[in-house]
Amino acid sequence: MTPEAAAANGQCLNASCIDVGLSDVPETMLWTLHNRVSVASDPAKPWFFDDKAVAIYDAIDYDYKKSFGTAEDSHGLRSWLFDKGIRDFWEAHPDTGGTIVNFAEGLETQRLRLEEDRPDGWLWITVDLPSAIQAREKFIEPDKNNLHVAASVLDTGEWMHLIPGEKPVFFTAQGLLMYLEEEDIKGLFQKIAEKFPNSKIWFDSIAKWLSGLTTKPGGWQLTKDYTAPKMPFGVNKDKIYGTFESWVPGLEIEEILWPLNMADSWFIRYAAPILLKIPYIKNLQPGMVMEVQFPPASESNVQPSQG
């Protein structure tokens, strides 16, 4: 195979190729990297630049196309949307300092994309599983302003104490909640509401039918060589608001619309916006990005969490 053909298939032939040794849920960071880089390296899509992601992609010893198939726009669109969410949060809190807490960041290079827009005094905390942090630190090193915590996001005692109090906090969770159990997500949200009232979180969620596809016998085979990990948490659009509102009284939740007009696919760009106006189809929307605003301390009735 020629180097050009290998590159087209997402294979690294350099002598310095790095084996990041990922499996199960952490391996999905390579799936999202595959899709993000397809957007970042396409000159016809100037809305998303990420030279660092391209460099990481090229350095890893992994056959992306064999596992994940032909790349598409979804994760590039998601990253663009979350980038905008963080920029907007910074603009809403000028000169205050605060913290961005990024759950399950993996090989996401978001903080590097946003570095020029980042106000002084803002801390960035990445919380991810030890194997994911180990892979991340082969390419992205932590420092005093960018902390890495090698732990499950559910182990709140490992990271909550690092967040300065009395300052704005913005949590993000790209590609995480679907891999957790509902009771664990509920407990996490209740602890955040208790410890960081008036904070905000952006996350993406999948529909119930898509969750069921991953948990059925044989799972969801993305390609003949790759089966996606189980995604036990899924909730349809008509249930998502009531579900999260029932966990934390006073919580405000709203959908953040996908920038479908930027998608490469004709179907997603033109047909999907029309179809998603039909109630039944809208309820089966496979993925959603949601914003949750936790209530101020005076309005929250969350019972103190244990641990």
Q: Per-residue pLDDT tens for 22-42?
A: 999 999 999 999 999 999 999
DSSP assignment of the chain equals --HHHHHHTT---STT-B-----HHHHHHHHHHHHHHHHHT-TT-TT---HHHHHHHHHB---HHHHH-S--SHHHHHHHHHHHHHHHHHHHSTTS-EEEEEET-TT--HHHHTGGGPPTTEEEEEEE-HHHHHHHTTT---BTTEEEEES-TT-GGGTGGGSPTTS-EEEEESS-GGGS-HHHHHHHHHHHHHHSTT-EEEEEEE-HHHHHHHHSTT--EEETTEEPPP------HHHHHHHHHHHSTT-EEEEEPP-GGG-S-HIIIIIHHHHTTSHHHHHT-SEEEEEEEPPPTTT--PPPPP-
Grade residue 220 by pLDDT with cuts at 50, 70 and 90. Answer: very high
Grade residue 269 by pLDDT with cuts at 50, 70 and 90. Answer: confident
Q: What pLDDT score was predicted for residue 37?
A: 97
Q: Is the pLDDT of residue 300 over 90?
A: no
Domains of the chain (ranges; CATH) run: 3-68 (no CATH), 74-293 (3.40.50.150)
Q: What is the pTM of this model?
A: 0.91
